[in-house]
Amino acid sequence: MSISVVTSVLLFCATLALLAGATLIVWGSLAQRSQQRLTLRVLRRQDAGDTAILTLGRRSWRRLPAFRPGQYLAVEAAIQQSVPPLMRCYSLARWQRNPYRYQLAIKRAPDGRVSNWLADNVQVGSRLTVRAPSGEFVLQAGQDYIVLIAGGVGITPLLAMLDGLRACRQPPQRVVLLYAARHYEQLLWHKQLLSWEQQLPWFDYRPCLSAPEHDWQGWRGRLDAARLAAVTQGWPHAALYQCASDGLMTAMSLAARQLPLPGGTVIHQEAFGVTAQGSGQWHGVSLGQHHVSVEGGRALLAELESVHHFADASCRAGECGGCRLQLLSGDVEWLRHPVQPPQDGLILACCCSAKSDLALAAL
């Protein structure tokens, strides 16, 4: 199916859902990734806690490919000289109609091999190879009542959407941003968001800290159904865009289903990676000539990257298909439902953990 057909189907479904007062979930998909490659310079780097915010551009003052608010860049990381680069997707943080700069936020994470390498090695003047912007988690036209839900670095595509809304000739009726983080320093672009709240009559900014400093004046604790219901009270319908951890997105999707909005709710969400706890049970996995021991409950991709090069595995969330493997024997547990389910007999290593000893084959 072409992108335009997919988009038409999604829009048709969204319209039906709104008319029926139902809840529809639309996942962003990285499957139709752009193949156009660009080499860009790092022009600026700012560090905020465990996150590096990079500004990329060409050396000459030449325009970059345009993108839609919410789209991402796939970035190549040449971690080892002897093997092809690994690729990861990062949402574009700021939006302009005719961009000369791209901005990304790269957060260090315990199992973030590429993100950690980029955060440790990329400095002003470094060159990065990226694919031209892609992605289907994008702001849809004509939505008047919008809730944006971000967790930590998940603010990036939503910030671009706010840029897009600010540029609209006819602004929306209401836009609420619910932004969850642990500490104050993890609220990226917080001062910018506060100033937009002052300037824009239709924009309401609600940061929420789970481990706030003592003088924090905003919401404390976690985002939940009661808070979502409070900010959407009296709305005729809502479009909800979220980019956060799996846990937060699941909780807010359930909460959105309970909203008493006569016109219903459409939920758009971007995968952020699969997070899972180890079970403490270990299994033997063979992949080609390699044999490794992996812990149940953990995504196979992270466990197998030391023995197999997944050159096209960029999303780590069941969307790009770059981590497909053939399951020859054994049982896996799906940690999340993939956006693009693989054919029978195949698994996505980023979405599965081992339930028993496994025999796998590369495709």
CB of residue 165 to ligand FES, shortest distance in Å: 29
Q: Which is nearer to ligand FES, 17 or 320 (CB)?
A: 320
Q: How far apart are CA 120 and CA 140, in angstroms?
A: 36
Q: Which is nearer to ligand FES, 64 or 87 (CB)?
A: 87
Q: Which is nearer to ligand FES, 23 or 314 (CB)?
A: 314
CB of residue 322 to ligand FES, shortest distance in Å: 5
CB of residue 143 to ligand FES, shortest distance in Å: 28
CB atoms within 10 A of CB 241: 28
Q: How far apart are CA 132 and CA 92, in angstroms?
A: 11
CB atoms within 10 A of CB 47: 9
CB of residue 140 to ligand FES, shortest distance in Å: 24
The number of CA neighbours under 13 Å toward the Cβ of 252 is 30
Are the CB atoms for 73 and 99 separated by under 8 Å? no
The CB-nearest residue to ligand FES is 350
Q: Which is nearer to ligand FES, 90 or 145 (CB)?
A: 90
Q: Which residues bind ligand FES (CB under 6 A)?
A: 313-316, 318-323, 348, 350
The string of DSSP codes covering 79-136 is -STTSPPEEEEEE--S--SS-S-EEEEEE--TT-HHHHHHHHH--TT-EEEEEEEE-S
CB of residue 35 to ligand FES, shortest distance in Å: 16
Q: Which is nearer to ligand FES, 190 or 316 (CB)?
A: 316
Q: Which is nearer to ligand FES, 163 or 319 (CB)?
A: 319
Q: How far apart are CA 15 and CA 68, in angstroms?
A: 21
Q: Which is nearer to ligand FES, 243 or 323 (CB)?
A: 323
Q: How far apart are CA 176 and CA 173, in angstroms?
A: 10
CB of residue 313 to ligand FES, shortest distance in Å: 4
CB of residue 32 to ligand FES, shortest distance in Å: 13
CB atoms within 10 A of CB 347: 19
Q: Which is nearer to ligand FES, 115 or 314 (CB)?
A: 314
Sign of CA dihedral 79, 312, 247, 22: positive
Closest residue by Cα to residue 227 from 197, 258, 195: 258
| Three-state secondary structure call for residue 303 | helix
CB of residue 317 to ligand FES, shortest distance in Å: 6
Element (DSSP H or E) covering residue 180: strand 174-181
